[in-house]
Structure 1
């Protein structure tokens, strides 16, 4: 039995489809408030609705939370393989404690059960945010180690802390794989994460910024995860990035694919610093801040990533992010048309 945490998210739902199409027996953890219909909707993007419904009904759904150890323990019954996709993603300064609780403590709970249940293999979905920065604008690789003295977002700190828990499991005898995806693009979650790129462009977003970052399609992420898990490789981490692109290029490609105007105005540092200043003042009066100093700084610093390790390890080829955007935009338009 394969256990998937975070099965109702972008990566988790695509992973479930990938595993089910391969005939795997899958149990997926979900929270009480999770919308399972989103998973079936994702399935229908790739296969006929009737077949999507059949595969969806093969999932053994288990209501649990990675912070609820008794429920999580029950979810591990008869499990041999674990894909840990569940995570909290936030860049709001006020969410730092919850980020650490969900991403670090939650992953520690999963790791402890993997150790106790002698799980055969454990895959954790981390992030490029958990990697160290580069010197002299070189490509960031898996060997760029974390420097605690640098300025990191609370999200990055929580993902790095989670990785430490996974490596602890590996030292206790659990074969592990960590993947570090860049910004993941894919259909189905238009009001969350990168899905908002399509929603905001559709609504007339007119600002762009020059930052370069790593991007990858969600299908490539789950394909790489499964190939690594079914290979003899263990106790390794892999960057999953198809292309290093500027946000301007990504927004322009999205606008073109959606047949919307290309964003023309460039965000400047002084605009964001003014926004940060007023939100900081608002914080004294109980208003929630959504812009941190780290966010302002990071939007104008480039991060470029190497992907040679994964390509060499399993002879993997990425789909160009331009094609991913085009396909995702097509699905977005179909969804909006009803």
Structure 2
């Protein structure tokens, strides 16, 4: 197999992907703003520079056969909208144009389930055929910019391009708290009430394996939802409480009152300076009042993707956050899951045929 380029290799998903590619013995190049000890330890080639620099991109794409495009910015801050659009839209356009000129064969773009899998109705479970949710996410620049990124990627001509759409990522290794910050707030008892919405999450290790399976078996111009359980926020907090031993919040208040209270508290915190933020911000409160449910049947049937038990993911997430941020004791390293082992072996031998899977169902505590 030819050389692989990974953008966003130092992020939460990227770190797990690089570890798997390294175990497969792939020749990997990483586009990063700077070399890091973690990249040095993996022994990958590093091209230092920006995704928005044409000369850097040309150097990064030279001699590359496949690209995993994971680079981006995860933020709920409306003030970061401009930077997110530049990275997700302008950066992706420039990368795809450069990759095409360099005769790259195949690109997997990491989008998010939130481009299509968000609703105000609990009974709605989105699939890859669901429409973009412009109206629902118009005030959330992260998701809106990812919609435009995804439209750009899936319309690209002259090269195989496809998207993976993982739901919110949990699991060990989120050092920047890009996805699991709310779990840390739960552990610190900073979430006072139960939101009215619902959540879908997936283990970052399983999402990384899904990216490899999509590269190997995915159809060009297709997207693949990579999600786990569809739980109400009440169900999620109950199960997170079981995994952590922390009593979940029991209070519930009307949605409008919750949003108003969050805005008032956030405003009071900002009086102390522009860098101060309330423990629970208004955007997070509003997002938690929606249902982010999705169905990953396509990834299961076409790619042979099978995520681990979600309780294992919650247990590993809690353990990592406690060790990293709360002074907890380290845990012994776990053996790779069946899915991780499968995609690692695929580097040397043919993968097993994709198994037939039953349709996902919601589970209750």
Q: Same fold (TM over 0.5)?
A: yes
Residue 156 (structure 1) aligned with residue 143 (structure 2)? yes
Q: Is the 8 A contact 1:241 1:305 kept in 2?
A: yes
Deviations 1:264-294 (A, max 9, x none): 3346531322332575799899947978876
Indicate how the Cα distance of structure 1 residues 173 and 203 shifts in structure 2: closer, same or farther if over 3 A, else same. same
Q: Distance in 2 between matches of 1:278 and 1:204?
A: 17
Residue 15 (structure 1) aligned with residue 29 (structure 2)? no
Q: Distance in 1 between matches of 2:129 and 2:307?
A: 21
The structural deviation recorded for 1:88 is 0.8
Q: Distance in 2 between matches of 1:255 and 1:134?
A: 26
The structural deviation recorded for 1:232 is 6.2
For 1:176-325, list aligned pairs within 5 A: 176-207=161-192, 208-231=194-217, 233-266=219-252, 268-269=254-255, 270-276=257-263, 287=274, 295-325=284-314
Unaligned runs of 5+ in 2: 331-365
Q: Is the 8 A contact 1:94 1:288 kept in 2?
A: no
Q: Is the 8 A contact 1:239 1:309 kept in 2?
A: yes
Q: Is the 8 A contact 2:169 2:180 kept in 1?
A: no
Deviations 1:101-154 (A, max 9, x none): 111111111111122112111000000121165696321111111254555321
Say which SS state the counterpart of residue 27 (structure 1) adopts. Answer: strand
The structural deviation recorded for 1:245 is 1.6
Residue 168 (structure 1) aligned with residue 155 (structure 2)? yes
Q: Give runs of ≥4 in structure 1 deviating > 6 Å.
A: 280-286, 288-294
Kindly tell me the number of residue pairs found equivalent between the two proteins. 319
Q: Distance in 1 between matches of 2:268 and 2:96?
A: 40
Normalising to structure 2: TM-score of the pair? 0.78
Indicate how the Cα distance of structure 1 residues 147 and 194 shifts in structure 2: closer, same or farther if over 3 A, else same. closer
Residue 337 (structure 1) aligned with residue 323 (structure 2)? no
**Whose helix proportion is higher, 1 or 2?**
1
Q: Paired residue for 2:104, among 88, 97, 119?
A: 119
Unaligned runs of 5+ in 1: 41-52
